[in-house]
Chain A
Amino acid sequence: MASKPTAAPGRDLKAAFKEAGFAALVTLGLCIPIIAWGTRQNMDNVLVLDPRWDAVAWAVGIVFVGRLLVALRQQGRREAKAAVRLLPHGTIAFFQRHSRLFSLFGLGFLVSFPAIAIGLAGWGGALKWIDNFGVQILIYVMLGWGLNIVVGLAGLLDLGYVAFYAVGAYSYALLAKNFGLSFWILLPLAGILASFWGMLLGFPVLRLRGDYLAIVTLAFGEIIRLVLVNWTEFSNGYAGISGIPRPTFFGIPFTAADDGFAAVFGLEFSPIYRTIFLYYLILCLALLTAFVTLRLRRLPVGRAWEALREDEIACRSLGINTTNTKLTAFSLGAMFGGFAGSFFAARQGFISPESFVFMESAVILAIVVLGGMGSLWGCAIAAIAMIGGTELLRELDFLKQVFGPDFDPTKYRMLIFGFAMVVIMIWKPRGLISVREPTAFLKEKKTISADLVQEGHG
């Protein structure tokens, strides 16, 4: 930054304007190809360019003013550098000291969530809350926890996690439709199949780490998706599979029929029973993932994963079989992805390759990274923020009154995602919960902030 050493510690307006002007110029350069012309096709299928210079002007103006304010603020802070804290000092430590209490509270809330939703929104309104918020978020919490084993604990960057989700979903869909097997048989089977594919991916990438591993796993995710798209005899291609049998309540279907759930239990038929059942199902699956992760972390294999993340060479010289360690991480992570996938297929009743695009992998990975690698709480909070946030955008109808009836807040989802990620990476570069709890203690629990450890180490 070009700031002249001035005698008075006053604000250097000229430098600030210069900086803001430069930022605005960059924005202008970026906006011209991206925003300046809207494209559409007219009746004759000819591409028409609609100039949108007003939007460009808005973007440039916002960046200019924003950068100017930031620059002035930084100048003012140069002497007394007071960090902005969103949470008062010691909040995280407080949560960790009472983590058991908060876990119990969180668990209580999750178990009673359907009742709370029904109480607050009534029978009709609760369906949306339980399905869109409860089930949807819990699927991603589970996927995040599953990927956390691979990325957070074993430190193997996997960009193709959605492939295992897809394997689980298609296993359930195809086997249930073609062989009529029940959900309860296919759930473990889908997990086993997914973990088999996890191993299959694990073998060729054993020697890879970091960026190279990420690229290969990314390719693997795409291969699975492209196979599902193109092998139409097997997977029905883009059209997807519909009419997937829904899970039953231990044999009792959730239908309005005489042998349906409502009739058997003497209740009035309502689709909400199935949703509540699905909610508890995914809650159990997610808790199973968390439980297994927590237990494994205390076992030699879990500690070997973490050691592997820290230093592979040291691991080998301590007699740890790194091949087996990596393969167990891949296959176990994939297994939970498979569970989530088969649940997804059973819940939707329809699946197509559209649901398993790279964007999904990116969202799941973002949940793990934003949450703080290896932290179950962090993953859960990040999933609530990201998935719940997306769902909330749909609810912001009042914005239509401000911006006109064409305004659709969900269109801005990616913009908000990106912005949130930039903010978090500036504010907490190691994720929301960046402290790692030791798995073994001598006398008492003690955590040391991750700030004391060099960036990039784990």
Chain B
Amino acid sequence: MTVAQPLLAVRGVKTYYGKIIALKGVDIDVNAGEIVTMIGANGAGKSTLMMTIFGNPQAREGSITYEGRDITRMPSHEIARLGIAQSPEGRRIFPRMTVFENLQMGAAVRNFEHFDEDLEKICVLFPRIKERLQQRGGTLSGGEQQMVAIARALMARPKLLLLDEPSLGLAPLIVKQIFEAIRELNRTQGLTVFLVEQNAFHALKLAHRGYVMVNGVITMSGSGKDLLANPQVRAAYLEGGRH
């Protein structure tokens, strides 16, 4: 165990959809400055965990603490104000609004302080976005939309960034670009990232630590390297799926 308190601590969280249990008691630590990933198959509960951290749906049992504060019962918009930003599953950018407006929406939490400065940074990080600023969100390609979704989350200047399957449906080259950007953010700005992924190979290579989730329970955890080398993980998530 680390001596310092983790930035985000999830303890024994159980989440239900109606009567169906989706998370059966999950424990996770995300320390400041880390990239932590969670891998698992479809329907394992990865996205549910992500949404539970964000308070929609709320956990029925267990607790979620962020910077020592209990956020288990907090509404989503207040959680966002604490410095947690999320790029939700399926990107969910605003299709009829321009990329510029999408980014503005991200900065709303911070009352548009540092907007121009942050926009500059985003344009350096994702040069593609700079070209597309005046274009409607819905007219972008999947990869560009993903970049916008991450950029929009970054506009809130978060301490903790939650990314839900940023590689979903994207070409390998774009995935590489996006993961490179995440690594860059972590290295230069010390951004803490919690990444949920099906693309286990890339995610584990990127992350400092990783968790494996099966059917709503954490079955394995360890450093990214160890998990990559683990024969069970290789058999279940990497062999044959490695591209």
Footprint of B on A, CB under 8 Å? 300, 303-304, 306-307, 309-311, 313-322, 436, 438-442, 446, 448, 450, 452-454, 457-458
**CB of B201 within 8 A of chain A?**
no
B243 within 8 A of A: no
B80 touches A438 (CB 8 A): no
Cα separation A6 to B133 with both chains bound (whole Å): 51
Q: Which residues of A contact B31 (CB under 8 A)?
A: none
Say whether A314 contacts B93, CB under 8 Å: yes
Cα distance A457–B96 in the bound complex, in angstroms: 7
Shortest A265–chain B CB gap in Å is 50
Given the known interface contacts A442-B134, A453-B138, the answer about A313 and B88 at a Cβ–Cβ threshold of 8 Å is yes
The minimal Cβ–Cβ distance linking B237 to chain A, given in whole angstroms, is 27
Question: Could you tell me if B138 and A438 are in contact, using CB atoms closer than 8 angstroms?
Answer: no
Q: How far is the CB of B96 from chain A (nearest CB, A)?
A: 4
Give 17 A-B pairs besides A306-B94, A317-B54, A319-B77 with Cβ atoms closer than 8 angstroms: A300-B112, A303-B101, A303-B108, A309-B96, A310-B96, A310-B97, A311-B92, A313-B92, A314-B88, A314-B92, A320-B77, A321-B77, A436-B96, A438-B97, A438-B101, A458-B95, A458-B96
Question: Top 8 closest A-B pairs, CB basis?
Answer: A319-B80, A319-B109, A310-B94, A314-B92, A458-B96, A316-B76, A453-B138, A317-B86
User: Residues of A contacting B95 with CB < 8 Å?
Assistant: 310, 453-454, 457-458
Inter-chain contacts of A316 with B (CB < 8 A) = 54, 56, 76-77, 80
Q: Please tell me if the beta carbons of A318 and B156 are within 8 angstroms of each other in the complex.
A: yes
Per-residue A-contact encoding for B117-160, CB less than 8 Å = 1, 0 else:
00000000000000001111011000000000000110010000
In the assembled complex, the Cα of A238 lies from the Cα of B217 at a distance in Å of 64
Contact (Cβ within 8 A) A440 B96: no
A441 to B101, CA, bound (A): 9
The reply to whether the CB of B186 lies closer than 8 angstroms to some CB of chain A is no
B56 x A438 contact (CB < 8 A): no
* Inter-chain contacts of B133 with A (CB < 8 A): 442
Could you list 25 examples of A-B contacts with CB < 8 Å?
A303-B105, A304-B105, A306-B96, A310-B94, A310-B95, A311-B92, A311-B93, A313-B92, A314-B88, A315-B105, A316-B54, A316-B77, A317-B86, A317-B88, A319-B76, A319-B80, A319-B81, A319-B156, A320-B77, A321-B77, A440-B100, A440-B104, A448-B136, A453-B136, A453-B138
Say whether A457 contacts B92, CB under 8 Å: no
In the complex, chain A residues whose CB is within 8 Å of the CB of B108: 300, 303-304, 318-320
Report the bound CA distance from A452 to B138 in whole Å: 8
Whose C-beta in chain B lies nearest to the C-beta of A456? B95
In Å, the complex CA distance between A316 and B56 comes to 9
Q: How distant is the Cα of A320 from the Cα of B156 in the complex, in angstroms?
A: 12
User: In this complex, what residue of B is CB-closest to A325?
Assistant: B77
Nearest CB on B from A84, distance (A):
26
Distance, CA A439 to CA B80, complexed state (A): 24
Q: Tell me the smallest distance from the CB of B11 to a CB of chain A, in Å.
A: 22
B223 within 8 A of A: no
Q: How far is the CA of A448 from the CA of B135 in the complex (A)?
A: 7
Q: What residues of chain B lie closer than 8 Å to A313, measured between beta carbons? A: 56, 88, 92
Q: Which of B94, B95, B104, B152 has the most CB of A within 10 A?
A: B94
State how many angstroms separate the Cβ of B117 from the closest Cβ of chain A.
15
B221 touches A (CB below 8 Å): no
Chain A residues within 8 Å of B105, by CB = 303-304, 307, 315, 318, 320
Contact B156 A448, beta carbon cutoff 8 Å: no
Verify A442–B138 contact, CB threshold 8 A. Answer: no
Which residues in A have their C-beta under 8 angstroms from that of B75?
321
Are B80 and A317 in touch, CB under 8 angstroms?
Answer: yes
Q: List residues of B (62-88) whose CB comes within 8 Å of A's CBs.
A: 75-81, 85-86, 88
What's the least CB distance linking A318 to chain B, in Å?
6
Residue from A309, A439, A448 within 8 A of B139 (CB atoms): A448
Measured between beta carbons, the chain A residues less than 8 angstroms from B93 are 311, 314
Q: Which residues does chain B contribute within 8 Å of A311, judged by CB atoms?
A: 92-94
B106 within 8 Å of A by Cβ? yes
The closest CB in chain B to the CB of A304 belongs to B108
Assess whether B92 is in contact with A453, with CB atoms less than 8 Å apart: no
State whether A438 touches B94 (Cβ < 8 A).
no
CB-defined contacts of A320 to chain B, threshold 8 Å: 77, 105, 108
**In the complex, A265→B132 CA distance in Å?**
61
Complex contact B106–A318 (CB within 8 A): yes
B81 contact set on A, CB distance < 8 A: 319
**Once bound together, how far apart are the Cα atoms of A442 and B130, in whole Å?**
11
Nearest-neighbour CB distance to chain A for B4, whole angstroms, equals 27
A452 close to B139 (CB less than 8 A): yes
Question: Known: A310-B95, A319-B108. Is A457-B80 also a contact (CB below 8 A)?
Answer: no
Q: Tell me whether B215 is interfacial, beta carbon within 8 Å.
A: no
Residues of A within 8 A of B77 (CB): 316, 319-322
Contact, CB under 8 Å: A457 / B76? no
* Min CB–CB distance A183 → chain B (angstroms): 39
CB distance from B25 to the nearest CB of A (A): 25
Residues of B contacting A309 with CB < 8 Å?
Answer: 96
Q: How close is B153's CB to chain A, nearest CB, in angstroms?
A: 8
**Complex alpha-carbon distance, A303 and B134, angstroms:** 16
- Cβ–Cβ contact B138 & A439, under 8 A: no
Q: How far does the alpha carbon of A318 sit from the alpha carbon of B57 in the complex, in Å?
A: 16
